[in-house]
Chains A and B, each alone.
Chain A
């Protein structure tokens, strides 16, 4: 690189120099706030560190303990995967359905687009507090409405069998966030395709499966990855609403990580947990990416 630096003409060299100058803040930030912490995290994963004493190298013991002697690890994994499996299809399907509705060309549609996105801008804490109140078993409005139509509502967050479902249903309320992305995808589909299909007598069902869906698969793919990664990282709901309960039903992985690291000061073990979750997320992303060849339609190909 140095040799090529000397061979450059002065103008080019000057531009490169200015490039590095502008990048300096990012490079410092990258080293200090990303690269260095990640390397340290990997190292800490092989240590026992309870903050009071210096970290002690214990090899892969943290990982052995995780897989063989830690029921909480498996519970956290189960709760998190359960949440991903419950919420992901709901969010993907409802997001798309909402986007199809919001894509209709009717006057005033922008008002609805604005309204449906509102839940996505509100903080997780505010949303959680709101749902605690709405889903109160005895005084909550949801169970009151259910009682109105003769259904005895469940105890929601306070029932180990319902807690996970409650958190998943809660996430559907914020589906407007993904609907907006789908909407952008839908609006990129050329109108002439629909016009031609209509002339050919294709009904709405045929038009959806013949045009909309295949041309939207890149957006669906993108949303699948974003929503999946997001679901794996669920935390605030457990912190604010359930504290991981009842009976550890919502003991999500990052909540376990938080408790180990910042309540129990098991920083070494917690580092291993965080790394494991990172690897799970990366593996899931790579897997989805791998399957994409079969179902994502790219026009250029």
Chain B
């Protein structure tokens, strides 16, 4: 273990003042360097997306031009309507929206109820059940796919949305964990006061605890949206009817078509990520805060 530098008990504030006055110029130059570096890295990160956007506006000749031009001569906005005409993008997005809606509803109904039991109620076996739930997060979901496939198949549910939506009505370990952690931060005095006033357990959950859980619910909804929107495994396994594909799988199949028209494909790809980007920019503060709180990424 590296030796931590000795922490001298000196008044920190005066030390900070001292350094600040002495190195104002150095600090300014430092800012400049930091910004230059940050902008350079941001460019490297953003160029792929900008390039995708530029391609989506190019004519067919410009796509194949060498060396490639970054800015198309005249932006062909018509590529977007052409992409919608060539690929059933609208249908795929509607399919995905249905799945997103169903899963969000499922999680909203199941997760708070389950989390409430773990966070607030006392019953024999709770620690074991909680550990069991957490441990399900460690298992790769693919190991369950074959039995799930034959299970849903024997129920006649292949090629329906049931396998992609039903499980959400029974909770999801990660969301339950998130919600339990959040509920534990709510003071117990509130429940106790309500109980003395004669409120039952369910009133306490739905009238008192849940309204206070809005930040955690927001994170859950955003994640449910992202996961469902980007899910690839479940649709490729449980669906085999082209018109019922969600956008993630539909998009993958455009690539397989003979003679890819890259300007149209890039338009379609950008359209497919727009709702996710929109939601992300609206909710990014919640999302990044929530991620940091539970320490997990998307």
Chain B, residues 29-58, CB within 8 Å of chain A (1/0): the string is 001001101100110011111011001000
> In whole angstroms, how far apart are the Cα atoms of A128 and B251 in the complex?
10
- B233 and A125 contacting across the interface, CB-CB below 8 Å: no
Q: Which one of B75-83, B97-105, B114-122, B210-218 is at the interface?
A: B114-122
Q: In the complex, which of the residues B52, B129, B171, B298 contacts A130, with contact meaning CB atoms closer than 8 Å? A: B52
B176 lies within 8 A of chain A by Cβ: yes
Nearest Cβ distance between residue B259 and chain A, in whole angstroms? 14
- A180 and B292 contacting across the interface, CB-CB below 8 Å: yes
B174 lies within 8 A of chain A by Cβ: no
Known contacts A122-B273, A278-B139, A278-B140, A26 near B284 by CB under 8 Å: no
B269 lies within 8 A of chain A by Cβ: yes
Which chain A residues lie closer than 8 Å to B237 at the CB level? 262
- B170 and A29 contacting across the interface, CB-CB below 8 Å: yes
- B15 and A198 contacting across the interface, CB-CB below 8 Å: yes
> In whole angstroms, how far apart are the Cα atoms of A197 and B16 in the complex?
12
- B5 and A139 contacting across the interface, CB-CB below 8 Å: no
A41 lies within 8 A of chain B by Cβ: yes
Which chain A residues lie closer than 8 Å to B7 at the CB level? 192-193, 196-197
- A181 and B292 contacting across the interface, CB-CB below 8 Å: yes
> In whole angstroms, how far apart are the Cα atoms of A44 and B266 in the complex?
42
- B4 and A211 contacting across the interface, CB-CB below 8 Å: yes
Chain B, residues 165-177, CB within 8 Å of chain A (1/0): the string is 0010111000010
A283 lies within 8 A of chain B by Cβ: no
> In whole angstroms, how far apart are the Cα atoms of A261 and B258 in the complex?
26
Q: Which one of A17-25, A76-84, A149-157 is at the interface?
A: A17-25
Known contacts A16-B123, A126-B251, A139-B66, A118 near B49 by CB under 8 Å: yes
Which chain A residues lie closer than 8 Å to B167 at the CB level? 29, 33
A129 lies within 8 A of chain B by Cβ: yes
Known contacts A125-B252, A139-B64, A173-B48, A199 near B114 by CB under 8 Å: no
Nearest CB in chain B to that of A132: its residue: B255
- A141 and B68 contacting across the interface, CB-CB below 8 Å: yes
In the complex, which range does the number of interface residues on chain B fall in? 35 or more
> In whole angstroms, how far apart are the Cα atoms of A130 and B281 in the complex?
21
B262 lies within 8 A of chain A by Cβ: yes
Nearest CB in chain B to that of A268: its residue: B146
Q: Which one of A65-73, A107-115, A158-166 is at the interface?
A: A107-115
> In whole angstroms, how far apart are the Cα atoms of A282 and B135 in the complex?
11
B196 lies within 8 A of chain A by Cβ: no
Q: In the complex, which of the residues B12, B34, B233, B295 contacts A235, with contact meaning CB atoms closer than 8 Å? A: B233
Known contacts A37-B147, A133-B55, A195 near B42 by CB under 8 Å: no
Chain A, residues 259-301, CB within 8 Å of chain B (1/0): the string is 0011000010011001101100110010000000000010000
B208 lies within 8 A of chain A by Cβ: no
Nearest Cβ distance between residue B159 and chain A, in whole angstroms? 14
Q: In the complex, which of the residues B150, B252, B297 contacts A240, with contact meaning CB atoms closer than 8 Å? A: B252
Which chain A residues lie closer than 8 Å to B49 at the CB level? 118-119, 130
A9 lies within 8 A of chain B by Cβ: no
Known contacts A115-B46, A196-B7, A147 near B67 by CB under 8 Å: yes
B145 lies within 8 A of chain A by Cβ: yes
> In whole angstroms, how far apart are the Cα atoms of A112 and B41 in the complex?
10
B221 lies within 8 A of chain A by Cβ: no
Nearest CB in chain B to that of A108: its residue: B35
- B114 and A26 contacting across the interface, CB-CB below 8 Å: yes
Which chain A residues lie closer than 8 Å to B249 at the CB level? 125
- B251 and A129 contacting across the interface, CB-CB below 8 Å: yes
> In whole angstroms, how far apart are the Cα atoms of A139 and B132 in the complex?
52
Known contacts A23-B114, A133-B55, A192 near B12 by CB under 8 Å: yes
Q: A133-B52, A196-B12 are in contact. List 5 more A-B contacts (CB 8 A).
A: A34-B139, A125-B252, A184-B295, A199-B10, A210-B4
A-B contact pairs, 27 of them (CB 8 A): A23-B118, A25-B170, A26-B114, A26-B133, A29-B167, A32-B151, A32-B170, A33-B144, A37-B146, A101-B37, A104-B34, A106-B35, A114-B281, A122-B230, A123-B273, A126-B251, A129-B252, A133-B55, A139-B66, A173-B45, A180-B291, A235-B233, A262-B237, A270-B146, A274-B140, A277-B142, A282-B138
